[in-house]
Chains A and B, each alone.
Chain A
Amino acid sequence: AQSVTQPDIHITVSEGASLELRCNYSYGATPYLFWYVQSPGQGLQLLLKYFSGDTLVQGIKGFEAEFKRSQSSFNLRKPSVHWSDAAEYFCAVGPTGANNLFFGTGTRLTVIP
């Protein structure tokens, strides 16, 4: 069965520091991979997606993610965090040939001055 693991429930970083949010998935083949961000009171906004090709993908708001097949990981990174990045981040997996997504439990990011 497909599963998505985000091992960090809550991360706190200082503004300007680098950020890495972890995501691991369990699936027999390479799925479609997504990162979404959710600000309080809002829906999920797509940050970036990976389907194939270059394993380092760029997204909006200065985020990037790297797909590592050997580790079944798709970690999200940002070199310098801004206070406005405080939100909840969700990794999602879409099995190829399927229509639905499987979401991780989310990582809440707090940014301190």
Chain B
Amino acid sequence: DAGVIQSPRHEVTEMGQEVTLRCKPISGHNSLFWYRQTMMRGLELLIYFNNNVPIDDSGMPEDRFSAKMPNASFSTLKIQPSEPRDSAVYFCASREEAWGNQPQHFGDGTRLSIL
């Protein structure tokens, strides 16, 4: 079975540009999570969805960040405008059930560099 698929794997762009990160969760999974990983702050939960509905976006750093999940097989994380401090590895994870004890399955991440 295919795992969580993220694209692109690497993104380098200039400050002020719009950045869109994409995620395809594991088929049949009902929950999707976006994380950001940096050396300084470790792994931070940005937002998660249950059945395509955003449940908790309290981790989204500011209004420049937005996330959507238009259907069960696709999600995007957008940064507009991007800033150098947004440079990080962004992970998407999915989980089979909205509640319960199932583990999260992670994609390989998108390494984002804002110049």
Contact = CB atoms under 8 A, between A and B. Distances in A.
B103 A43 contact: no
A88 to B, nearest CB: 10
Interface in B80-106: 91, 93, 95, 98-99, 101, 103-106
Interface in A93-110: 94, 97, 99-101, 103-106
Contact of B105 (A46, A97, A105): A46
B99 A99 contact: yes
Contacts of B11: none
B45 A101 contact: yes
What band does the interface of chain A fall in when counting residues whose beta carbon is under 8 Å from B?
20 to 34
Contacts of A46: 103-105
By secondary structure, the B interface counts as: strand
Interface residues of B, number: 23
B50 A105 contact: no
Given A99-B99, A103-B43, A41 B108 contact: yes
B103 A99 contact: no
Interface string B27-64: 00001010000000011010010100001100000000
B99 A44 contact: no
Interface string B13-32: 00000000000000000010
Contacts of B101: 32, 49, 51, 94
Given A42-B109, A43-B109, A99-B95, 8 more contacts: A43-B4, A43-B106, A46-B104, A46-B105, A99-B48, A100-B48, A100-B56, A104-B42
Which are the 3 A-B pairs with shortest beta-carbon distances? A43-B106, A44-B106, A103-B43
Interface of A: 32, 34, 36, 41-46, 49, 51, 90, 94, 97, 99-101, 103-106
